[in-house]
């Protein structure tokens, strides 16, 4: 009977120490390989899909269709969809990730309008938060700017590539 109790005690001790050892190993792995929060400059790959790509003249030349990652986890290529309408007839091309310039701010567009205003018209006293108005003589110029909130840092607003839409269409098609 004593040997039976001793065997149960030894077995219980061994299972407790095994569980503690497994828990310690799990804690060590978790502390070295897992992240608990998003860091600035890190993007969710799932959010890169459908990000628009522009050339340096601010003309949209395509959008990101997919991201190709190598075995080490490094992004090798970005697959761009070029041309087509509503996703039909798109031509997919692979572009090296480092060829894209990532931009967090929206594409800037400046709208200038010249309207006749009376020469003695007072300057506007208040403008909406997203617009700046400048009055000079008989012409009014309105420049629209957009601000981006810090919460959108999970992915960039758009990318810029030094290529034209025609150059991308001329590239060999990427095959899955």
Percent of the chain whose predicted confidence (pLDDT) is above 70: 55
CATH at residue 76: 2.30.30.240
The yes-or-no verdict on residue 41 having pLDDT over 50 is yes
Spatial distance between the Cα atoms of 99 and 77, rounded to a whole number of angstroms:
9
In a domain, 135, yes or no: no
* DSSP letter string, 18-85: HHHHHHHHHHHHHHHH--SS--TT---HHHHTT-EEE-TTS-EEEEEEEEEE-TTS-EEEEEEEES-B
pTM: 0.56
18-32, 47-61, 104-118, 139-153: the lowest-pLDDT one: 139-153
Q: Which residue has the higher pLDDT, 48 or 35?
A: 48
Q: What is the pLDDT of residues 69-85, one digit of tens each?
A: 999 999 999 999 998 77
In a domain, 140, yes or no: no
In a domain, 50, yes or no: yes
The yes-or-no verdict on residue 53 having pLDDT over 60 is yes
Total domains present in the chain: 1
In a domain, 51, yes or no: yes
Percent of the chain whose predicted confidence (pLDDT) is above 90: 37
Contact 156, 51 (CB under 8 A): yes
The boundaries of the domain holding residue 91 are 45-101+157-170
Q: Token pair of 14, please?
A: 């061994």
Which residues fall within 8 angstroms of residue 140, CB to CB, at 6 or more apart?
A: 113, 114, 115, 117, 133, 134
């Amino acid at each position: 009977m004593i040997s039976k109790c001793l065997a149960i005690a030894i077995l219980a001790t061994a299972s407790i120490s095994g569980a503690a050892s497994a828990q310690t190993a799990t804690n060590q792995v978790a502390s070295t390989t897992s992240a608990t929060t998003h860091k600035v400059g890190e993007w969710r790959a799932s959010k890169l899909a459908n990000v628009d790509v522009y050339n340096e003249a601010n003309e949209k030349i395509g959008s990101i269709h997919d991201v190709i990652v190598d075995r080490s986890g490094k992004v090798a290529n970005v697959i761009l969809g070029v041309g087509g309408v509503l996703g039909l007839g798109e031509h997919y091309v692979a572009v090296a990730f480092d060829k894209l310039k990532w931009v967090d701010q929206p594409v800037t567009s400046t709208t200038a309008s010249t309207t006749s205003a009376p020469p003695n018209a007072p300057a506007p006293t208040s403008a909406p938060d997203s617009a700046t108005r400048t009055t000079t003589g008989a012409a009014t110029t309105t420049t629209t700017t957009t601000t981006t909130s810090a919460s959108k840092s999970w992915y960039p607003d758009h990318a810029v590539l030094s290529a034209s839409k025609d150059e991308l269409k001329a590239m060999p098609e990427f095959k899955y």
